[in-house]
Amino acid sequence: MQKAAHTNSLFIAYLVHHLRVFVASLGHLSRAPVATLMTSAVIAIALALPTGMFVVIENVGVLSHSWDGSTQISLYLHKAVSTQQAQGLADRLKLHRDINAVSMVDKEDGLKQFTALSGFGDALKYLDENPLPTVLIVQPHIDASRPEAVNALVQELQDERLVDMAQLDMEWVKRLYTLLELAQRAVWIIGGLLALAVLLIIGNTIRLDIENRRAEIEVSKLIGASNAFIRRPFLYTGLWYGLLGGIFAWILTTVSLSLLDDPIHRLSGLYQSSFQLSGMSFSQVLNLVALSCLLGLAGSWLAVGRHLSAIEPS
């Protein structure tokens, strides 16, 4: 019983000591507020850049799924196909498991649209007959991120007896997903390089702090302090730098996205879209701050491990 109580008291004393060092390290930083804010701001900028790029790419990915619904297959029917035959084909295609909807543009409507949009209205009046075929606009049910599946549907529709040509422009879909994949890899590379920069920034800051407190460290070692005891406040200092840098990075990212929100909203309005730029979720904010704290601890650990052993009382 006494042994258990003694163990509990030691554990409580250990936690109290860590709490004191944790608060004391913050007090040490508060005595140099300008330097602390500048270092935290540099960390924040380094973290905000890949974070903002990641959020933007995530928004583009969400937007691309809505663009999938705009993928259309145009079926140009033979000129001899009547309106009744075309309507019958459209009704039959609506029952296809991979087709969402089918709409028909007959010859007369097609000519009216072409006349209004092409600017050749006067010239078209001299044509002996309507040269345009009846067109069926097919809305696939297949996800556009799988171009091979849509291409298979196009080939199936091309084999229809009444269809002269089935046309689908999938190049924009392929380019979109390729660019998104490329952008995601670029974010990971840039994020990795900037994370390394954060490690170097914090490591160099802690190194300067160690040099400034060299006499204090030598005295602590003279009275028998262990390296773990001396290392502890520097590790908590790195943690504070990481925490402040992560919070500032979240603020920078949020402000930057809010500045982009209005022009993006106006741009989407021009395309009759209700798209709105989404900010960081709560889990993403936690991940950002946790990563920043981890980088702060890692940078300070590397700096302390390298420079603390070189300081010995003379």
Question: CA 239 to CA 292: how far, in whole Å?
Answer: 8
pLDDT at residue 312 above 70? no
The tens digit of pLDDT for each residue in 208-260 reads: 888 888 887 778 777 777 777 778 888 899 999 999 999 999 999 999 988 88
Domains of the chain: 18-66+174-307 (no CATH), 72-169 (3.30.70.3040)
pLDDT for res 274: 67
Question: CA 123 to CA 16: how far, in whole Å?
Answer: 90
pLDDT for res 172: 65
Closest of 217, 167, 214, 176 to residue 62, by C-alpha: 176
Closest of 86, 83, 29 to residue 238, by C-alpha: 29
Q: What is the mean pLDDT of residues 12-26?
A: 78
Measured from the Cβ of residue 314, the count of other Cβ atoms closer than 10 Å reads: 5
pLDDT at residue 313 above 60? yes
Q: What is the mean pLDDT of residues 137-143?
A: 75
Say how many Å lie between the first and final Cα of the chain, rounded. Answer: 46
* DSSP 3-state of 137: strand
Query: How many CA atoms within 13 Å lie on the side-chain side of 253?
Result: 28
The tens digit of pLDDT for each residue in 27-64 reads: 888 888 898 899 999 999 999 999 988 888 888 776 66
Average pLDDT of every residue of the chain:
79
Q: Where in 142-269 does DSSP place strands (E)?
A: 163-167
Contact 161, 125 (CB under 8 A): no
The crossing angle, in degrees rounded to 10, of helices 2-30 and 33-68 is 90
Question: CA 200 to CA 302: how far, in whole Å?
Answer: 9
Q: What is the mean pLDDT of residues 95-121?
A: 66
pLDDT at residue 306 above 90? no
Contact 40, 248 (CB under 8 A): yes
**pLDDT band per the 50, 70, 90 thresholds, residue 109:** low
Quick one: three-class SS letters along 49-104? HHHHHHHHHHHHHHHHHHHHCCCCEEEEECCCCCHHHHHHHHHHHCCCCCEEEEEE
pLDDT at residue 120 above 70? no
The tens digit of pLDDT for each residue in 162-196 reads: 888 887 766 666 677 778 888 889 989 999 999 99
Query: How many CA atoms within 13 Å lie on the side-chain side of 267?
Result: 7
Residue appearing with tokens 């991940």: 287
134 secondary structure, DSSP code: P
Q: For 58, list phi and psi in degrees, rounded to 5.
A: -65, -40
Contact 86, 138 (CB under 8 A): no
Token output for 248: 């500032």
pLDDT for res 241: 93
pLDDT for res 194: 92
Most confident of 94-98, 191-195, 208-212, 275-279: 191-195
